Chains A and B, each alone.
Chain A
Amino acid sequence: EVQLVESGGGLVQPGRSLKLSCAASGFTFSNYYMAWVRQAPKKGLEWVATISTSGSRTYYPDSVKGRFTISRDNAKSSLYLQMNSLKSEDTATYYCARHWIGGFDYWGQGVMVTVSS
């Protein structure tokens, strides 16, 4: 059974940093692109980042480019999202997801990030 379990969320002040983690199991992690997708409170879905199988290629929307960094450790079957210079508009539930055939086939339960002073 595919499982994705996020951790690392919490309350953080504007301008500070936070690192999210996602532990994957139930599939060969190194064979799949992985992604982060977020959802602001009562809002829709926003893709945040994608990383290739080896980690050599990463993709971001303009809204987070230069502030967020996605990375992975295939030996640990783990995905990460380093978030710097956080803004109030980054407040959201962050989902770890497996990026597959142009979509996201498995999602974690999500972790809440609140950016507020």
Chain B
Amino acid sequence: DVVMTQTPVSLSVSLGGQVSISCRSSQSLVHNNGNTYLSWYLQKPGQSPQLLIYKVSNRFSGISDRFSGSGSGTDFTLKISRVEPDDLGVYYCGQGTQYPNTFGAGTKLELK
């Protein structure tokens, strides 16, 4: 199984600041078809997860351009700029390149 390792476990940020979350996979996430199925999710307190980014760098419908994804192979990053109160919660990366689909353990974003 592909192990997804997220760092850091938690982050403190000031409103308006910028943060980066790292996600590393134990195997390359490049599919046989050439696509890389790495997604990012945000779970706000008391809510279901929501998709932010799919295929490494594509913002899902309605997602602010303050969120950006990058990376390739086994190393990926989510950047959040101009952090707003509504951005707080737990961020997860997930891979859909192979079964079983797996998620990182999460990164909790809190206010400083």
Contact = CB atoms under 8 A, between A and B. Distances in A.
Do chains A and B interact in one complex? yes
B37 A50 contact: no
Residue from B39, B48, B55 having most chain A Cβ neighbours under 10 A:
B48
A17 to B, nearest CB: 23
Interface in B37-53: 37-39, 41, 48-51
Contact of B54 (A45, A95, A102, A108): A102
Interface residues of B, number: 27
Nearest to B1: A61
A75 interface: no
B96 A103 contact: yes
B60 A105 contact: yes
Contacts of A110: 48
Contacts of A62: 100
Residue from B38, B60, B97 having most chain A Cβ neighbours under 10 A:
B60
B39 A102 contact: yes
Interface string A43-84: 011110010000000011110000000000000000000000
A47 B54 contact: no
Contact of A108 (B1, B48, B95): B48
Given A44-B103, A46-B103, A101-B37, A95 B49 contact: yes
Contacts of B72: none
B94 A45 contact: yes
A103 B92 contact: no
Nearest to B98: A102
A109 interface: yes
Given A50-B101, A102-B38, 11 more contacts: A47-B102, A47-B103, A59-B99, A59-B100, A61-B100, A101-B96, A102-B55, A103-B51, A103-B54, A103-B94, A105-B60
